[in-house]
Amino acid sequence: MKPSEITPLTTLRMVELAFEAGVPEGVFNVITGDGSAGRNLVEHPEIDKVTFTGSTNTGKMIGYSAIDNMTRFSLELGGKNPAIFFEDVDIETAVNGAIMGGLLNQGQVCAAASRLYVHQSLYGDFVEAISAAVSGLPVGPGLDPNTVVNPLVSDDHRQKVLSFVAQGKTDGAKITTGGDALDRDGFFMAPTVITDVAQDMHVMKEEAFGPVLAVMPFQSDAEAIQLANDSAYGLAASIWTNDLARTMKVVPEIQSGTVWVNSHVPLDPNLPFGGYKQSGMGRDFGIHSLEPYLEAKSVCIGVN
């Protein structure tokens, strides 16, 4: 395993726990370093399988490198994940779901909901309610259990997320709350709600990987499906409705590896997880994740 050079300590602690649990030394190995360490692993001829979780651009580079040795690879990449709130969902449920799905770990989650499509009949009340709720979230260090909003992973990443907000404003979007770096120690950014967005804006097309929620209205089920699928990515999505017939109709139409109903982000390791389109190849979790690690062999024996 090669963790990000920005966040190696979690992985090192995990391997310590693995040894304590009885995993023999040499079975679970960790190599730290920057991208060159990962590149050497991917290009090594004795590596048989590579699994990568990260950005789409890096995933493509890994695929190009791995294919020279015919190294198998699976890629769990970025997402620009939609959450659709239909007219029969109450505002409180919708707001709580959007905050949990979009701001978990400050939005630094590949499956986080960042495109919020809200039925026109709920849109005004939803924007008012979520803006008020987000502006009141307690901010502080991750080790403080009373906080909800914690710092981003680095200052460079914070600047990238802030640039998404700035571009949105330039494109004509409205910031109803947040949008700024917070003046305190640490890489804090105020969680942000953006409205008056258009589907072709940068903030609706690309993954900010931060606490930025863009809200857009829709009028019909067909329009909601079309907007949700209008993306280069297809990792995860959620729909929020109490109508079972609608659920059974909409879910198959969403181009996404995972579709949650009345929730967003919970994962079960028994279920395959991965994406359509630019969100990757292959699946993590479940029996589907094991197949790329195995070699199928056919044996035919002639009997006289």
pLDDT digits (tens, 9 = 90+) for 44-100: 999 999 999 999 999 999 999 999 999 999 999 999 999 999 999 999 999 999 999
Residue 27: how many other CB atoms lie within 10 Å:
9
pLDDT confidence of residue 161: 97
Helices (H), the chain: 9-20, 35-43, 56-67, 91-103, 120-135, 155-170, 202-205, 221-229, 244-250
Q: Which of 76, 92, 253, 300 is catalytic?
A: 76
Q: Which of 16, 25, 46, 110 is catalytic?
A: 110
Cα separation, 139 vs 117, in Å, equals 26
The token pair that represents 251 in the structure block: 């879910």
Q: How many residues does the chain have?
A: 304
Decide if 110 is catalytic. Answer: yes
Is-contact 144 111, C-beta < 8 A? no
Q: Where are the domains of the chain?
A: 9-77+277-293, 81-261
Give tens-digit pLDDT for 220-243. Answer: 999 999 999 999 999 999 999 999
pLDDT averages per 10-residue partition of the chain, 304 residues: 93 95 92 92 94 94 94 95 97 97 95 98 98 95 93 96 96 97 94 97 96 98 98 98 97 98 94 96 93 93 93
Domain 81-261 matching CATH 3.40.309.10: the answer reads yes
pLDDT confidence of residue 63: 94
pLDDT confidence of residue 25: 85
By DSSP bridging, strand 280-281 and strand 72-76 are antiparallel
pLDDT confidence of residue 304: 85
- CA–CA–CA angle 211, 215, 218 (5° rounding): 155
- Average of per-residue pLDDT values in the chain: 95
Q: Fill in the DSSP letter of residue 48.
A: -
Decide if 76 is catalytic. Answer: yes
- CB-based contacts of 46, cutoff 8 Å, min separation 6: none
Residues paired with residue 280 on neighbouring β-strands, in sequence order: 76
- CB-based contacts of 73, cutoff 8 Å, min separation 6: 42, 49, 50, 51, 52, 62, 63, 66, 281, 282
Is-contact 174 195, C-beta < 8 A? yes
Cα separation, 213 vs 231, in Å, equals 16
